[in-house]
Amino acid sequence: MDKKTGLLILTLSSLFSLVVVGAYVAARGYGEACGSDVPADWPLCLGNLLPPPQVGPVVEYTHRLLAALSTLFLAVTAFVFWRDQKASGPEKRMLGLAVALLIGQVLLGGVVVAQNLEAGLVALHQAIAILIFGLVVAALAVGGREG
């Protein structure tokens, strides 16, 4: 396995973890466990850098940390592919679109919190998460097919 493929798999792993923890946050109703006052409680937790030692805030904050980590991994992955002359156009476009969607997704996360977890916004947030994950899976599939 080459380094680019390994980076894609690492990015996919972080995105998968993010989607799973995000679904858990939604299912358990922890979406406001860190508060709902934007910007005081988002991206912070109850106005603090770290959450209090309670399950809800820790789970919600874990989701936020995974979002930050996934954003970093996806940005680095996309950058590596964009700089590589051997990477295919479809890979680059899929990763570029995933990055653009992820930027919007992070902002939408703040709106979801500010709007007190309005169901339509939560559903949109989850749908975009699956779309981002799918784009990265597709980039891996295209790279595997061409490589």
The pLDDT tens digits of the residues spanning 69-123 come to 999 999 999 999 999 888 778 999 999 999 999 999 988 988 888 888 889 999 9
How far is 2 from 34, CA to CA, in rounded Å?
Answer: 40
Task: Give CA separation, 76 vs 32, 68, 71, 144, in Å.
Answer: 30, 12, 9, 19
Its pTM stands at 0.88
pLDDT score of 11 more than 60: yes
Task: Kindly state the percentage of the chain with pLDDT values over 70.
Answer: 97
- Read off the pLDDT band of 7 (50, 70, 90): very high
Tokens, residue 68 = 């930050």
